[in-house]
Amino acid sequence: MKLCRAANEKETFYAQIEGDVLKRLRGDLFDELRFDGREYPLSEVRLLAPVMPSKIVCLGKNYVDHAMEVDEVIPDEPLLFLKPPSSVIDPESEILWPKQSRRVDFEAELAVVIGETCKDVQLGEASKVIFGYTCLNDVTARDLQGRDGQWTRSKSFDTFCPIGPWIETELDPNNLRVQSRLNGTIKQDASTASLIFNVDRLVHFITQVMTLVPGDIIATGTPAGIGPMRHGDIVEVEVQGIGILRNKVIKP
């Protein structure tokens, strides 16, 4: 089932997507949703980031090929960092190039959407707390990342976390194709089967550290092929079985 958060001229709402039609829902996204009888053509609404997470927990170097292209060090356990909720933007919204940086990169990722409050989730039990999956672009000021020696500033600028276009609730995350395209040219192309730490292990590891709540996001890491964007570029993240997240880069 594909679920989205959308807006028309008057209000914001959740909806189920069936083909090119949105069936409007009422209720709690993570509890009980019901069709309220109203339908809209997809072309007549604006899609929003499907959730507004309290935190975005990200993985560094979670594909071997990406770890090798960065520094040739394969982590022994998941390497975690956070992006702030203020970095989240909608599909089709603009990624704003910060004045502090000279190089801003795309990073295509499968994102896990948590569906219930959870702590200390055991291995093999992750599916019980996962609501669904979406696409995420872990936009990074690469020059600042290298300069700082840690990742907070480079990953945290406003607009540096496009999410969407919707949540797919019925998906096996273990062998999905993940791509990025820059102005239509494929830059990253890999399978989640190549993750060093798969989704089940990530949920287990992260919830040993922190409590996750409904709407929280786990960004599972990016494959090899990261690269810079330029003013006016269109960057797309596509995850098999979900859809395409598209954003334009603007350098003020």
Whether residue 102 sits in one domain with residue 182: yes
What CATH number should be reported for the domain holding residue 25? Answer: 2.30.30.370
Quick check: 81 pLDDT over 70? yes
Whether residue 81 sits in one domain with residue 40: no
Q: Which domain holds residue 41?
A: 2-48
Whether residue 128 sits in one domain with residue 235: yes
Overall pTM > 0.75: yes
pLDDT band with cut points at 50, 70 and 90 for residue 211: very high
Q: How confident is the model over 170-202, as pLDDT tens digits?
A: 999 999 999 999 999 999 999 999 999 999 999
Whether residue 196 sits in one domain with residue 140: yes
Question: Rounded mean pLDDT of 44-66?
Answer: 93
Whether residue 36 sits in one domain with residue 99: no
* pLDDT score at 245: 98
High-pLDDT (> 70) share of the chain, %? 98
Whether residue 198 sits in one domain with residue 113: yes
Quick check: 40 pLDDT over 80? yes
* pLDDT score at 57: 98
Whether residue 89 sits in one domain with residue 6: no
Whether residue 211 sits in one domain with residue 92: yes
* pLDDT score at 149: 86
Domain tally, the chain: 2
The residue out of 16, 32, 48 marking a domain boundary is: 48
Whether residue 133 sits in one domain with residue 93: yes
Whether residue 178 sits in one domain with residue 70: yes
* pLDDT score at 72: 66
- Within 13 Å, how many C-alpha atoms sit on residue 116's CB side? 11
Residue 185 pairs in a beta bridge with 182
Whether residue 62 sits in one domain with residue 25: no
What CATH number should be reported for the domain holding residue 163? Answer: 3.90.850.10
Whether residue 151 sits in one domain with residue 36: no
Quick check: 24 pLDDT over 90? yes
Q: How confident is the model over 117-173, as pLDDT tens digits?
A: 999 999 999 999 999 999 999 999 999 999 998 999 999 999 999 999 999 999 999
Backbone angles phi, psi at 66, to 5 degrees: -70, -40
